[in-house]
Amino acid sequence: MSALDIDITLNTGAKIPAVGFGTVCFDEFKSQFKDALKAALLEGHYRHIDTAWYYGTEALIGEVLQELFESGKLKREDIFVTTKVWPSFWKDPLKSLEKSLHDLRLDYVDLFLQHWPLAFEGDENGLPAVPKDAEGNVKFAKGADYLSTWKKMILIYKNTTKTRAIGVSNYTPKMLTRLLKETDVVPATNQVELHPHLPQVELVKFCKEHKIVVEAFSPLGGNGAPNLKIPLVQQLAKKYNVPAVDIIVNYHAQAGRVVLPRSQNVERIKKGFSEVKLTEKELAELDQFGIDHPKRFINDVWGNDLGFEHWGQ
């Protein structure tokens, strides 16, 4: 069985495929994006797409999905689609979701996430996505509470058919504690940066206790995939005779976490991932590597005051 066939059960009872296709795409790769996504869905056997309004790829995803649905190569129920509301849309997550659904050419998503526990100033179309003042500082919406967005997402979840589950992203245990105390829906997932350089052991434990599935973003460390060069990852790849990327994917999937690798390289995408049965000791060693050598790759300036562990390291 391929690691791509592993499903994880959300607190809604729905299943989420453990491996999702990351859809951040820089402008220079946009012309290749549709081919990469088609390869992922048809040959890499991905059944899960992780996107967001902010990535600017939803319209391209919508074109591919429509083509594959119309040609009968794929059915809507075959795939799990996640999108996210960006902080500049904090006042109106429904509008953000409707915009995403329009671009994705879908009636519903399987999961709708609050992208960051933040609120930015922005017009009714969420623009500019990252507003800045003359000195280049991010303009946060004054007096805004990130939980107000979550509360509006609960209403969307309860009163519409536009999303089958809701969750959060970039929440710390402290923020989750507040959310659980003040609202009545437990997020289905918390999507955070997570990999052998940043195992976030406490956060993972907290989420497990509260039945919140953890989704690992930037699993390879982002551009250039630095995590594939970690000596322990290389050593395990050699031992199991698989590419290093398979070790990282299995590190998450085996622990019941979703993992969201990104690639625009069709040859890599087509290969998919093999299942590797890492031992408990090896999983613990991978965690220990990050405890000893913490490194966070995504240090976007708007996250400066959120109290993330190892921020800027």
Q: Which residues define the annotated binding site for substrate? A: 115
CA dihedral sign, ordered 176, 181, 183, 185: positive
Q: Which residues are catalytic?
A: 55
Q: Residue 271 CB, nearest distance to ligand NDP (Å)?
A: 8
Q: Which of residues 168-197 bind ligand NDP (CB under 6 A)?
A: 169-170, 191
Only one residue has tokens 């009545």, namely: 184
CB 265 within 8 A of CB 23: no
Tell me the Ramachandran region of residue 56: left when phi exceeds 0, alpha when psi lies from -120 to 50, beta otherwise. Answer: left
Per CB under 6 A, does 224 bind ligand NDP? yes
Both tokens assigned to 203: 């956060």
- Each residue 41-60 as x (binds ligand NDP by CB under 6 A) or -, in order, gives ---------x----------
Nearer to ligand NDP, 265 or 313 (CB): 265
Nearer to ligand NDP, 94 or 225 (CB): 225
Give the bridge partners for 8, in sequence order. Answer: 16
At CA 138, angle to CA 132 and CA 142, rounded to 5? 105
Per CB under 6 A, does 245 bind ligand NDP? yes
Nearest of 185, 250, 184 to residue 216 by alpha carbon: 250
- Each residue 74-113 as x (binds ligand NDP by CB under 6 A) or -, in order, gives ----------------------------------------
Interaction site with ligand NDP (CB under 6 A): 22-24, 50, 115, 169-170, 191, 217-225, 228, 243, 245, 260-265, 268, 298
